[in-house]
Structure 1
Amino acid sequence: MKKRNLIPIVASLVACLAVSQTAVAEELALFAGPFGTGSYALGNAIEQISKKADAGVNVVASESPGLVFNVRKLAKEPDLKTATFTPYTTGLGYLAVNGLKPFKKKHPPAKLIANYLLGSVWLATFDPEIKSIKDLAGKRVALGRPPQILWTVEPELILSKGWGLHDEITIERLGTKPAAQALLDGKVDAAIIGGYANVSSGEFKPSPQTAELMASGRTLYHIPWGKDAVQKTMDSGVGINHLSVPTGAVAGMDAPMNGFFDAIAWVAYPELPDETVYNLTKMIIDHVGEFKEYHALGKLMAPGTLAYGWKPENIHPGALKAYREAGLVK
């Protein structure tokens, strides 16, 4: 047989091999968050990375109404759990497992695959006389929308469980951008602000409405939650953790501030096979530096942040294997 006749045969074999390799890649559904959110953007990023990584998994991300909706959908359609992962937060987990609002029943705990953001929020004011949470008694405070875990539910839990002042403060649940505007308009005395942290580098990225307040030209005064109040809230079972917001993270912050973070993560239920989760997590570890190519928030992702704040027993066994191999979890 002449050599030139071998060329199409070899080419055909290579093509067949490529098709075979593509066929064995397991397809995983990701219920990302609403369009325009960090969860949606980074969900799209992990889909694109999976298409290039040849890691044995092919992620198909789709927009969803939100994280609470995702938990409810997986509960109603449990067969989806064998091939689906979802955005989640530790605070959301506390509410879901205990059957607290906005949930009407208890849900089994989900297991970590990887953090993609560490969210931290606190209250700010233009009033220099408001220096502590206790100074907010009798005043008006604007938070996010009622279902928002980080921007509404967890701050209310700290005001209640950490400070015991929830009933003495007028809470207005407006949404993140309207809360900032209400503060600018003088309609409230304090409003929720914050952003996202990279605990490995110390970098902090303010949220959009926080950046708008910073650009207003007015002096922002930051009201720390306080280490003791955060610890009391944690001791009650709420899934948050301590975080010191670094100096200069936001205009007017001239010293580190005791606060908290909620891990915003991709999780799965135990029904998702260990080997599948191992391949997915290893892909995230190996390609974590590429997320910044798809969204600015990806700059806050690093190997040291992927399992930060989670106990080994709360990490999916497949993910735990990948983290231990990479030396990221003991």
Structure 2
Amino acid sequence: MKFKYVTMIAAVCSWSLLSAVPASAAEATKVNLITGPFGTGSYVLGNALEQLSKKYSKTVEISSSETPGLVFNARKMDKEADLKKLTMMSFTTGINYLTTEGIKPFKKKYPSAKLISNYNLGSVWLATFDPEIRTAQDLIGKTIALGRPPQILWTVEPEQIINTGWGLKGKINVERLGTKQAAQALLDGSVDAAIIGGYADPISGTFSPSPQTVELVGSGKTLYHIPWGQEAVQKVIDNGISIKTLTVPAGAVAGMDKPTEVFFDAIAWVAYPEMDEQSAYEVTKLIIDQVEGFKEYHALGKLMSKGSLAHGWKAEDIHPGALRAYQEAGLIP
């Protein structure tokens, strides 16, 4: 009897000690992240976020996984509503606009996602080897190559600027080839201009050219850059697409002899409002605290800085938990 009594007391004490341990200290909240195809910046930086959470966070553990792409991510989250509670996804403001408006490739309207953190700011424009082509008007009657039809940054948004911003719909022959194929077409001389670009940190002014841009620069030919222009970009913004104006500094890319007015689309980790505020807060705080660590995983991580993490977003479009983390860090008023 005495042995049983002692055993019971020990059990009660053990239970009391465990119940006194805060849940966050006992077990980290597990948050899923669906990224993009293997080898892309979205995939690599998503994996980096997973590793950083395992190294430095006691409150949140992130598990990233590959997906076919960012359009797929929105469709998956829509079909599996329970995912929204503890799942983030790689996304862009451009895709978010298409989902909320029910525009191709989406067949219905989706609710708006909320920012957790930017991880890249993608920017594109047109370039040519023809010194006679320097403005939008010079492209009338010419052929240009863009990305594939579903690509938001490399095709959908540039076409919006051509059609709405420049008002040149039907006056320029547009071929939707793919980013690599567009560069090759320009090298072959089968098109007059092609889409190029890269990724920017607007805070430091640092710019990292995309692979096909590097290929064109390395061709030995003189590359001429055609700006979209602030007025044209603003017309598209006024039409509802959430892009922002961006000035790429002179010298950022070979042949860019003066600042070039283009646009950027925020490539970000987002979540739906169904994710609880504390989980979003912990993830965002981790990103803010460890932002310098991303450069150890991918060259694009060098473009991440505290000031760029919420750049271009209105407070109402940021997840409440993430907003709290940014405000605590003094990054948003």
Same structural fold, with TM-score higher than 0.5 when normalized by the shorter chain:
yes
Q: Whole-Å Cα distance in 2 between the matches of residues 254 and 132 of structure 1? A: 15
SS at 1:167 equivalent: coil
Higher mean alpha-carbon deviation, 169-178 vs 105-114, is at 169-178
Matched residue pairs, number?
A: 314
Q: CA RMSD in A?
A: 1.5
Paired residues of 1:197 and 1:203 also in contact (CA < 8 A): yes
Q: Which residue of structure 1 aligns with residue 150 of structure 2?
A: 147
Q: CA deviation at 1:167?
A: 1.4
Paired residues of 2:186 and 2:192 also in contact (CA < 8 A): yes
Q: Which residue of structure 1 aligns with residue 168 of structure 2?
A: 165
Q: Which residue of structure 1 aligns with residue 31 of structure 2?
A: 28
Q: CA deviation at 1:138?
A: 1.2
Q: CA deviation at 1:319?
A: 0.3
Identity across matched positions, percent: 65
Runs of at least 5 residues in structure 2 that lack an aligned partner in the other structure: 1-17
String of CA shifts for 1:222-255, please: whole Å, max 9, x gaps: 0000111001010000110010011111100011
Paired residues of 2:94 and 2:153 also in contact (CA < 8 A): yes
Matching residue's letter, 2:293:
E
Q: Which residue of structure 1 aligns with residue 62 of structure 2?
A: 59
1:271-286 correspondence to structure 2 within 5 Å: 271-286=274-289
State the 4+ residue runs in structure 1 displaced beyond 2 angstroms: 20-23
Highest CA radius of gyration, 1 or 2?
2
Runs of at least 5 residues in structure 1 that lack an aligned partner in the other structure: 1-15
String of CA shifts for 1:137-185, please: whole Å, max 9, x gaps: 1111101111111011100011111011121111111111110000000
Higher mean alpha-carbon deviation, 21-30 vs 151-160, is at 21-30
String of CA shifts for 1:55-76, please: whole Å, max 9, x gaps: 4111111100100000011101
Q: Which residue of structure 2 aligns with residue 193 of structure 1?
A: 196
Paired residues of 2:25 and 2:58 also in contact (CA < 8 A): no
SS at 2:123 equivalent: strand
Q: Which residue of structure 2 aligns with residue 7 of structure 1?
A: none
SS at 1:272 equivalent: coil
Q: Whole-Å Cα distance in 2 between the matches of residues 315 and 139 of structure 1? A: 41
**Correspondent of 1:309 among 305, 308, 312:** 312
Paired residues of 2:248 and 2:262 also in contact (CA < 8 A): yes
Q: Which residue of structure 1 aligns with residue 177 of structure 2?
A: 174
Alignment of 1:44 with 2:70, yes or no, is: no
SS at 2:216 equivalent: helix
TM-score (norm 1): 0.93
String of CA shifts for 1:83-120, please: whole Å, max 9, x gaps: 10001111111111000011100010000000000111
String of CA shifts for 1:292-313, please: whole Å, max 9, x gaps: 0011100000000000000000
TM-score (norm 2): 0.92
Q: Whole-Å Cα distance in 1 between the matches of residues 130 and 200 of structure 2? A: 26
